[in-house]
Structure 1
Amino acid sequence: MLLLENPGFRRLWISSLFSDVLTVTLVMCSGLVVLEISDSAFWVGAVFGFNGAALTICSFIGGLLADRFYRRRYTLVAIAILIDMVGVLLIAILISVDKIMVWHVIFAAVLNGIAISIRMPSRNALTLDLVGKEKLVNASAANLVSWQITAIASPLIIGSIIVNYGMSWAYFLMVIAGCLAFISALTLNSSYVSYAKLDNSQNDDNARSLIEGFRYVLSVPGVRSLLLLAVVAESFVWSHESILAVMATRVLNVDAFGYASLLSVGAVGALISLVFISFSKQLAPRVLLLVLTLGLFSISLLLFSLSSWFPVSLILIAIAYAFAMGYETMISALLQLVVPDGMRGRVLSFQTSTWGFTGLAGLYMGAIAGAFSAAIAIGIGALVVLIYLAINFKQLLKLDVVVEEGS
């Protein structure tokens, strides 16, 4: 197994695991805190939107840093974790002294978006540095496994802490998780990277480097097509996350525990898929697999939007998230294979920036859900992605030639 064979990647994975605990818990608790303070669904969505905006805007800087400080990517990961910890610790203290306000939570959400925008391009680029191209798909799946482990366990643990000890202790737990992630990141150094390069771009102008990244993405058809596909997926199919609670309570007619069950079962489906991919020895990144998994993800989510029976919905969300992880693994691996090493951090920052569209999409998803229903909003998003794939199917398959050249 890759985690046992590669000590450098294992340290990076452990750091990612605890970072994911912090992020998953923060997303869960932020909405609860804001809802308790303001009793407004709008401000809950606003927190999600500010986080997405910060992530989208700052990801380009994160990619620039990942390329500029090629041999210090592990340091960038540690710095990003510290940024996250500052916001979380601030909220924990303010809740403890009963001085918490909505703008405090928004501030922490923005810091979280900035931290992710720095951490993810460096972590993803460092993954390839540590494992090489032959093991990249397995490593990408292993990275996603850490997220799904936290998605299953963290809500249950944090929910128990909130009920028994209060919200502030949930935030203090995030600080502890951040400390463990920070320590693990610091134990990783350049000696674990078997083919690290010198920083050839340290004297480059930052603005010029960033502009070069934009020009590269816009001028290379393969990269442009993959990133556009990512934007479509985040904006229309992953956007269901912002109104999943509405779907659970108003369409499926379940309580908070039922909503938590949807999240946990979905994470279980995703985890099973990722474990299968991680252990697969013959699975190579191919655009056909990318298109198929995204298409099946969209179809499963469309069926989920049509279901009003909770047991069936549980099965469908598990299937949907299983295919979703196949898509996420493939697009992460493909983007790394089609770009040169000197441009990899900046290109991966574009991928990270697309994740912010999930938060931004919550604005229009909420509007559709309010005017019609959450089921219609989710169904429309899934249909948009399926139509996009059908229109661009042949063009996307041509990218396999580019991937083979990059490999």
Structure 2
Amino acid sequence: MTNVFSHAPFARFLSARVGSIAAQQMLMLAISWHMYDLTSSAWDLGLVGLFQFIPGLATTLFAGHCADRMHRGRIVAVCLAAQGATAVLLAVSTYMHFVTRDVLLGLSLVLGAIRPFQMAGQQALLPMLIPRALLARAMALSTVGQQVSVIAGPAVGGLLFAIGVNAVYVTCATLFCVSAAMYALIRYDYVPPPREPVTVETILAGLRFVWSHHLLLGGISLDLFAVLFGGATALLPVYAKHILHVGPQGLGLLRSAPALGALCVGLMLSRRTIRSGVGKKLLLAVAVYGISIVGFGLSRSFPVSLVLLAISGGADTISVVVRQTLIQLETPDRMRGRVAAVNTLFVGASNQLGEFESGVTATAFGVIGSVVFGGCATILISVAWSRLFKPLATRETLHRLDV
């Protein structure tokens, strides 16, 4: 760990990442609770996810092209500043009593359009800040930083609700601005690439690269389908209010619980990386994730629910670290932005579209039926991918042995 932190650009990257993700988590917590408080509708909670997914679908591949043609740190800084402006707008409109269902959905569209540029820039930037031999450890530490933010963000956001929703929005705006300044100051060996026209071929290059590499396609699509069905985040406000009866403060703890499990596993992986049976352990982690989601869906105990969500977060961290490290190691730098964009597209689909799926199935089968169905589907996906993507299932180490 000392060797990793001895690289100042990575340390600055990690600090800025912690602040920005904490702000994003608080902002999403505030928007989801604000929406449910206004409408009391699981369908509208699902729409928040859908309205973030749609513009991301339209901009993600172009975002990857930009990440391969521009300074990646500055791209992320601009994206965070824009999200800070969105938080300010939410605070002002709330103070002026202008917030409606349509305002929240409209700003969700804005956030959805911005984040692909941020995510593509972040993912492509990290390998430039750390030696290749330390990448897996840095990836685990980056995941730890993310989970610290995911724990602290919703928990602090829940406490700030005692003051008012505007306290959450103002805090988010401040964190976004500080993080944007830190990203803008990151320095790495940046050589502007040769100018070339933006064409359909250059924009789709990342998609073609992933499609031609069965291992990458299997890893990225595994996340898409597993989290698409297994995610329960969109329905946590319903669980907090009507099933577990714990209110907005309890909602903050529910949102933080997966991150606590992820933090513990991430710290373990930052000290000792997975050295063998990488593919099998990845698929097993996805299956454990699905099992924990099924248990959460059936639970009526708040402590038990927190434990099951923590287990889901720990299992998901193994999946994230393995998949992200494989993506970075298997992708040349000239393609990292566009491949990161494809990964962002799949991750966005699994998260935002997964929230919409949760809203739809909750409307059809009830909230509990939706969560249990999703967890079972995730288990089946793990089994199916072990047969459909043999290069992924049989991968032994993170680094290819022939390199």
Alignment TM-score, normalising by the size of structure 1: 0.89
In structure 2, the residue matched to 1:230 is 223
CA offsets, 1:67-97, max 9 Å, x none? Answer: 122xx11111111112212212211222222
CA contact (8 A) 1:58 1:117 kept: yes
Cα distance in 1 for residues equivalent to 2:306 and 2:37: 28
What one-letter code is carried by the residue in structure 1 that aligns with 2:182? S
Task: Indicate how the Cα distance of structure 1 residues 339 and 94 shifts in structure 2: closer, same or farther if over 3 A, else same.
Answer: same
Task: State the 1:332 CA deviation.
Answer: 0.9
> In the aligned structure 2, how far is the partner of 1:373 from the partner of 1:178?
36
1:375 equivalenced with 2:380 (yes/no): no
The structure 1 residue matched to 2:170, chosen from 169, 172, 185, is 172
State the Cα distance separating 1:322 from its structure 2 match: 1.0
Q: Is the 8 A contact 1:297 1:320 kept in 2?
A: yes
1:50 is displaced (CA, Å) by 0.5
CA contact (8 A) 2:42 2:363 kept: no
Moved more, 258-267 or 393-402: 393-402
Counterpart Cα distance in 1 of 2:23 and 2:247: 25
Q: Which residue identity does 2:278 align to in structure 1? A: R
Q: Which residue of 2 aligns with 1:62?
A: 63
CA contact (8 A) 2:144 2:267 kept: yes
Residue type of the alignment partner of 1:265? A
Provide the rounded CA distance (Å) in 2 between the counterparts of 1:162 and 1:252: 19
The match for 2:234 is 242
Deviates more, 1:22-31 or 1:145-154: 145-154
Structure 2 vs 1, CA of residues 278 and 97 (structure 1 numbering), >3 Å: closer, same or farther? same
CA distance in 1, matches of 2:278, 2:82: 36
In the alignment, the residues of structure 1 paired with residue 232 and residue 26 of structure 2 have an alpha-carbon distance, to the nearest angstrom, of 19
Structure 1, gaps ≥5 residues long: none
CA distance in 2, matches of 1:406, 1:43: 50
Which stretch shifts more, 38-47 or 125-134? 38-47
Deviation of 1:304 (Å): 2.5
Higher deviation after alignment, 253-262 or 356-365: 253-262
CA distance 1:173–1:250, shift in 2 (3 Å): closer
Q: What residue number does 2:116 align with?
A: 117
Q: CA deviation at 1:218?
A: 2.1
Moved more, 223-232 or 280-289: 280-289
Measured at CA, do residues 306 and 94 of structure 1 come closer, stay the same or move farther in structure 2, by a change above 3 Å? closer
Going from structure 1 to structure 2, the CA distance change for 1:382 and 1:406 (only over 3 Å counts) comes to farther
Instruction: Give the letter aligned to residue 57 of structure 2.
Output: T
Paired amino acid for 2:138: A
> Cα–Cα, structure 1 residues 115 and 285, in superposed 2: closer, same or farther, change >3 Å?
farther
| Structure-2 separation of matches of 1:116 and 1:272 | 27
Q: Which runs of 5+ in 2 are unaligned?
A: none
Q: Contact 1:337–1:406 (CA<8 Å) still a contact in 2?
A: no
Paired AA for residue 324 in structure 1: D
For 1:326-385, what per-residue CA distance to the aligned partner results, in whole angstroms no more than 9, with x for missing partners?
A: 111111111111222221111111111122222222233223223333232222222222
The 3-state SS of whatever aligns with 1:100 is coil
* 1:141–1:329 CA contact under 8 A, matched in 2: yes
- SS at structure 1 position matched to 2:204: helix
- Deviations along 1:98-133, one digit per CA (max 9) or x if unpaired, are 223333322322222222211112111111111132
Which residue type is aligned with residue 182 of structure 1?
Answer: A
Q: 1:268 aligns with which of 224, 240, 260?
A: 260
Comparing 341-350 with 155-164, greater Cα deviation is found at 155-164
Q: Name the amino acid aligned to 1:397.
A: A
Corresponding residue for residue 52 of structure 2: 51
In structure 2, the partner of 1:316 is 308
Q: Match of 2:206, as an amino acid?
A: G
CA distance, structure 1, for counterparts of residue 333 and residue 18 of structure 2: 26
Change (3 A) 1:366 1:224: same
C-alpha displacement of 1:223: 2.1
Q: Which residue of the partner structure matches residue 157 of structure 2?
A: 158
- Out of 319, 328, 340, the residue aligned to residue 348 of structure 1 is 340
| 1:48 Cα deviation after fit | 2.2
**Residue number in structure 2 paired with 1:288:** 280
Q: What is the CA-CA distance between 1:242 and the residue it aligns to? A: 1.4
Distance 1:140 1:352 in 2: 16
Amino acid at match of 2:393: L
Distance 1:373 1:102, change over 3 A: closer
Alignment check: 8 A CA contact 2:244 2:302 kept = yes
1:336 to 328, 338, 342: 328
**2:33–2:248 CA contact under 8 A, matched in 1:** no
Q: Give CA deviations for 1:285-311 in whole Å, capped at 9, x if unaligned.
A: 932232122122122222333333333
User: 1:21 touches 1:150 (CA, 8 Å); kept in 2?
Assistant: yes
Q: Does 1:140 align with 2:116?
A: no
Q: Which amino acid aligns with 1:134?
A: A
Which residue of structure 2 aligns with residue 95 of structure 1?
94
Match of 1:397 in 2: 393
After superposition, the Cα gap between the structure-2 partners of 1:157 and 1:227, relative to the gap in structure 1 and judged at 3 Å, is: closer
Letter in 2 for 1:121: A
2:46/2:355 contact within 8 Å kept: yes
1:77 corresponds to which residue?
Answer: 76
Kindly provide the CA deviation profile for residues 378-398 of structure 1, in whole angstroms up to 9, marking residues without a partner as x: 222222222222233142324
Distance in 2 of aligned mates of 1:169 and 1:311: 28
Give the match for residue 35 of structure 1: 36
